[in-house]
Chain A
Amino acid sequence: MTRRPTPWRLLGVLLAFTLVGAACGDGDNTPEGNAADEETATTGQLEASPTSEPATGPSDDELAAATLNASGATFPEEFYAQAIDGFKEDQPNVTVNYQGVGSGAGRQALADQLVDFAGSDATVDEEDVAGFKGGEFLYFPTVAAPITVAYNLSGVDELNLSPEAIAGIFSRTITTWNDPAIAADNAGATLPATPIVVAHRAESSGTTDNFTSYLEAAAPDAFTLEPGSTVEWPADTQAGQGNSGVAQIVSSTAGAIGYVDLSDANATNLSVASVRNAAGEFVEPTTEAATAALEEVEVEADLSYDPLNAPGAEAYPITAPTWIIAYKNQPDAAKGNALKAFLGYVLGDAQEEAAEIDYAPLPDNLRERALAQIDQLVVSQ
């Protein structure tokens, strides 16, 4: 066996490369995040909201050190991330970690008691309730947002879609863009004959659940699939991970269409369709339209509600809810108090910044009920 020469030179080159890179890298980086954080810091103190007092939680007292682990929906992920950063300013001893893995995975992790709370765009199915090892749990609504119907069609900047058209597209009964069903609502536009590429979620998703439930409710004849968190999509459709995965597919594939939350759609610069609502108007997916959909909503006793296909001329019909699910009994005092404080922040100050990042804050009555529910959390001392 001949002796291989020692690669000192190569090692030296690598080291030099890295050092040069480090030196160059340092100079160029300006952490822009700090600017945004400073803004939240000035409004960071928990203050009384205009129409009511905060119903619960320690106010400015510093909490004992605690870490809250959470996972779940990717739909509200950006909102929670911003809330977590803002909450950190308030309570530096508390760390909250939220992992966006999909509503289904979040609910399962909570059931297995691997996380302290879960984010979910859908409520827990009846048959799964028994699997929650920590006992009874509570739903805390946090935000709502439009589920956009995003598309990639060059030359077509505005698109009107009826529920029947959307249902047909996702059921693959409508397969090209110039189909009469689509053209009927878009008199002004020239629609090409491009084949439609449908993008959907690969994993169990609350966004999927809400979107398909809407189609089932608004266009039951045209929508041939079974709604739910996991759908048996037709062949030759594409799947992505998370809302951002779907956004990426739509963004990189000509002729693609997919359902994406507004935050991701805007971040990816996707064109979004105006959808015809129950009142017959074509409405763009904006946070104002989402708020309009929330105005009339009926809220159940457990704070679940359904804003899909809401009445009202200005309501965006595919407005999706999302909740934080947490166990009623909190055996760990530090974590329990931290959870209460975090929920108070999410339902308090965080609501004010929601619209900036494309989420619709909750209407006051719903928010107050949620704040009141925080008291129901039983924290052992």
Chain B
Amino acid sequence: MTTLTTTTPPEAPPERPLRPSRSPVADTTFRLVSLACGLAVLVILVLIAVSTTRRALPAFRAEGLGFVTSRRWAPAEGEFGALAFIYGTLVISALALVLAVPVSVGMALFLTQVAPRRLRQLVGYLIDLLAAVPSVVYGLWGIIVLAPAVTGFYSSIADVFSGVPLLGRFLGGPASGRSFFTAGLILALMITPIITAISREVFDTVPAGQKEAALALGATRWEMIRGAVFPWSKAGVVGGVMLGLGRAMGETIAAALVIGSNPQITANLFAPGDAMAAVIANQFGEAAGTHRAALIGLGVVLFVITILVNVAARAVVGRNAETVLGVAR
């Protein structure tokens, strides 16, 4: 009655219908299979990096550093300077961030700190669903509805700002429906759900104790947000913003449709421009030889930039990475 059986039988008790335990061979096989799959991921990525860089080499060799510093892109004459496209990608991504971040963070704050529970859940769902809308649909809407409609709007703004010293250069000048600004708008629309979703998650992780302590000290809600929520969630929000940035930079179709396809470096945001991913999509089909290598080279440059942004995002977010960023993409 008080003695304990100390040995554990290797076989399961006969009543329980248990499958026979696997042989060592099956176990090792499974381990090898999963190792192979893990390695496959490595191999695929290395293959992408190597094959694209190799095909881009002729263009890099021909242009040298001029590939990224020269502004002149003239395939017919064998000149490939990508600066205008790099500029375009950076401009529309920056614009998208400027437009999207305040609004997304504000909305996330509203949902987590202010809104009643039911509204929060409903809007939360809608935001997550909107994050799934394909970019080509935004592009379609942009080119058919938005671009024609905003030309007049841009012209009015341009008229207002035309004399003004600094803003006049950015917002003055001849306005076009297909321009940096329209591309930035569409991208902002696209990345808002991502940034909102991540910010929401991050704001939710702020310990209630911190918030309550602030409120207990007599803070208004806004002061509580500034004092308790922001410091805690800064890293997470920044990480989310950078993921949104990465998404905006790699976006091809929506930007290609509304950016205007005119490679130029100009401060005027209402002017047409071009971006790396967009020009690849537009010109790759017809390209041969060095032109094709140059376009693949653009892809490599874009690849490198977005990797840097993504890696930096993960570094900034740190420990929160897996839980917080799981909603993205």
Contact = CB atoms under 8 A, between A and B. Distances in A.
A70 B256 CA distance: 24
Contact of B177 (A101, A235, A252): A252
Given A230-B76, A238-B178, A252-B151, A204 B286 contact: yes
B266 A203 contact: no
A236 interface: yes
A195 B174 contact: yes
B176 A203 contact: no
Contacts of A101: 285-286
A108 interface: yes
B305 to A, nearest CB: 23
Contacts of A197: 174, 176
Nearest to A103: B286
A312 interface: no
A231 B264 CA distance: 14
A363 interface: no
Contact of A253 (B75, B176, B257, B287): B176
Nearest to A203: B282
Nearest to B288: A108
A109 B285 contact: yes
Contacts of A4: 121
Interface string B236-262: 000000000000000000001100111
B147 A252 contact: yes
A297 interface: no
Interface in B112-147: 121, 125, 143, 147
Interface in A228-243: 228-233, 235-241
A25 interface: no
Contact of A104 (B177, B256, B286): B286
A239 B147 contact: no
Contact of A238 (B121, B125, B260): B260
Contact of B262 (A102, A104, A108, A233): A233
Contacts of A241: 256-257, 261, 282
Contacts of A105: 285-286
A124 to B, nearest CB: 11
B272 interface: yes
A238 B176 contact: yes
B268 to A, nearest CB: 9
B283 interface: yes
Contacts of B75: 230
Nearest to A14: B129
Contacts of B289: 131
Contacts of A128: 288
Contacts of A5: 121
A182 interface: no
Interface of A: 4-5, 7, 10, 71, 101-105, 107-109, 111, 128, 131, 195, 197, 202-204, 226, 228-233, 235-241, 248-249, 252-254
Interface of B: 74-76, 121, 125, 143, 147-148, 151, 174, 176-178, 256-257, 260-262, 264, 266, 271-272, 282-283, 285-289
9 contacts: A4-B121, A102-B286, A197-B176, A202-B282, A202-B283, A228-B76, A229-B286, A236-B272, A238-B178
Given A101-B285, A128-B288, A131-B289, 11 more contacts: A5-B121, A109-B285, A202-B283, A203-B285, A232-B74, A232-B76, A235-B266, A238-B176, A238-B262, A241-B256, A252-B177
Closest 6 CB pairs of A and B: A104-B286, A105-B285, A239-B261, A202-B261, A252-B148, A204-B286
